[in-house]
Structure 1
Amino acid sequence: MMSFKLPVFLVLFVFYSQLSMAKARIPIPYGTEEKIIKLVELPDTEDFQLEDGTYFDIGSRYVKSHILWLSYSNTEPVIVGYANDGESYLDITPEQLTEIAKMANVEIPTEGSVSFFDKIVGKILLGILVLIILYGLYSKYIKKEED
């Protein structure tokens, strides 16, 4: 995972420096974002109702690092209570998870998971973008020297 980050940052630095030399500056969205995905649907009963009247389910929370909305790194996912359509979460202990599984008669995974897009697709698309940028730089600078 770490071996992939260095080349990506190097290529993005070159790409950003090329953009800074251009007259039109294009902002590149980057940063981190907390994501909560639903893992297990719990029954809408009083046992799983929050104080505000909404119900919670079991979810997975992780933080993704992204460039151009494409994920290149994720933190280790943690199992949490999924509330308000993923806008908020509840910290749940392993003992509480065991109790919830018994009460709802459902199987709860022992580890959280990351969405397929954030785990694989984002890295593939970023890799393709990096290859396109490298080819553009190659054809612009290196091919001119050969001619």
Structure 2
Amino acid sequence: MENVSDFIEFRIDPERKLLYGKWLRDVSVEEYKAGLQIIGQLLTEHAIKLWLQNSERLTPRSVPEQKWLTEEFAILLMQSVIKYIAVVADKNSPHSTGLATIREKAYRIFGKTKSVEIFESEEDALAWLIPNMQYYRLPATTHPVNTDKEL
């Protein structure tokens, strides 16, 4: 399998407890799960409360991937201190519709202890995550995560 850094980028703002993730291209099932597992690790290790995930390049996930996301990955999210999750996806794409469905299913299963919103731009997502900071910019460098290991 390719290195994780070939398909997902991470940045962390430790002061604001914010994780930024961006899918660099569409990914396979294995890559999708590997990327989310690293995100889960980062959420825990850095006590992340705000997460912005740019998913503009992803195609809709399969039913088994959606099931894994709402059942397995959601448990990890519930055990973390994360409060707000902003996902960037084109609202006219089938992926955005799938994300909204996943969000509603997760709310039914786990309640609304974590807020999840879908946005069309990173700027709008950041404005929601960090209100009153219109000039905020994400950290310029990728956080040193050991993503070069083969998964």
TM-score after normalising by structure 1: 0.25
In terms of Rg, which structure is larger? 1
Q: Which structure: greater helix fraction?
A: 1
Q: Which structure: greater strand fraction?
A: 1
TM-score after normalising by structure 2: 0.24
Q: Which has the higher contact order (CA 8 A, sep 6+)?
A: 2
